[in-house]
Amino acid sequence: MTQLALNLGQQTKLTVLTGDCAQLLPSLETESIQCCVTSPPYWGLRDYDHPNQIGAEPSPEQYVQNLVDIFRLVRKTLRPEGTLWLNVGDGYARNGGTGKCGPNAVVGNTKKLIQKRNCKVPEVWGLKDRDLMGLPWRVAFALQADGWILRSKITWIKKTAMPESVKNRPTNATEEIFLFAKSPNYYYNAQAVRQDTGANLRNYWMLGPDPGNHGHPAAFPRELARRCILLGSRVGDVVLDPFGGSGTTGIVANEVNRHAILIELNNSYADCARDRGDDVTA
């Protein structure tokens, strides 16, 4: 496959590719990306309306394997000192029962993929009805086993939590962001983002949602992307988001003078990312 080389001498700083990242990642130049900042769809949650979408696998095990395969491709595109900043969400197994909690129960968002499958999670990992799947750590361990160096787990504390109608557990208001390195000598600029006191940045980030979501149901806050990009890259570097969504990573990367490559499966989100960018190559 011909590799896509970014002409960094030109003004183009945001490149949005429409398609399946598993197919498009091999077209990126090997060892050309400094840092990847991304949030794949969470398993069994939203329907992004495409047969190749990640998150709609019949089992969470397959989801983990698909992410391992995709991030193996990402690793090839990273420079030796490159990093991956990965935000992954969790979910609950819904394995049956009847009535309010049964297979046809409406659990929050009625568009949940897990409900389309009649709430059935296949029998993997000994999951029982209502088990928290622990997916972020399952993905992290699988990536570690595949060769990534797991360097940090950052807890994103959401200032505004998504309302949940649960009465038998606390409302979820945190998510994980993992920092992975390609090699032990990776680039990390500890001076780029500090605590208010000037101390080294802590691994919990309290962030509120951005006003407006550009029509995307799962955009992450710009400040989340900004921190990862500033810590993980220099001015003029290339930042990648293979699950680009509404383009938050790319927009922020450009704001802090980095080039960005986004891949997004869904045409309308890819268009949205392009519209948000200054100077774009389709």
Ligand X SMILES: C[S@@+](CC[C@H](N)C(=O)[O-])C[C@H]1O[C@@H](n2cnc3c(N)ncnc32)[C@H](O)[C@@H]1O
Which spans of this chain sit near ligand X (rule: CB under 6 A)?
Answer: 20-22, 39-41, 48, 52-54, 216, 218-220, 243, 245-246, 248, 263-266, 269
Q: Which residue lies nearer to ligand X by CB, 52 or 257?
A: 52
| Pick 63 or 186: Cβ nearer ligand X | 63
Query: Minimal distance in Å, beta carbon 98 to ligand X?
Result: 32
Task: Name 174's Cβ contacts closer than 8 Å, sequence gap at least 6.
Answer: 155, 156, 157, 158
* Residue number closest to ligand X, CB atom: 245
51: left (phi over 0), alpha (psi -120 to 50) or beta: alpha
Q: In angstroms, give the least distance from the CB of 111 to ligand X.
A: 13
Nearer to ligand X, 4 or 149 (CB): 4
Residue 132, both tokens: 């928290």
Nearer to ligand X by Cβ, of 49 and 123: the residue is 49
Taking the alpha carbons at both ends of the chain, their separation in whole angstroms is 18
To ligand X, the closest distance from the beta carbon of 232 in angstroms equals 16
d(CA 135, CA 42): 9
Q: What is the DSSP letter of 27?
A: G
Nearest to 240, CA basis, from 167, 201, 182 = 182
Alpha helix stretches (DSSP H) within 27-78 = 60-77
Least Å distance between CB 58 and ligand X?
A: 15
Tell me the C-alpha distance between 16 and 75, whole Å: 19
What's the min distance (Å) between Cβ of 267 and ligand X? 10
Closer of 34 and 38 to ligand X (Cβ): 38
**CB closer to ligand X out of 95 and 158:** 158
**CB of 92: closest distance to ligand X in angstroms?**
18
Tell the residue number behind the tokens 């990306």, with chain if given: 33
Asked if residues 129 and 96 have their Cβ atoms less than 8 Å apart, the reply is yes
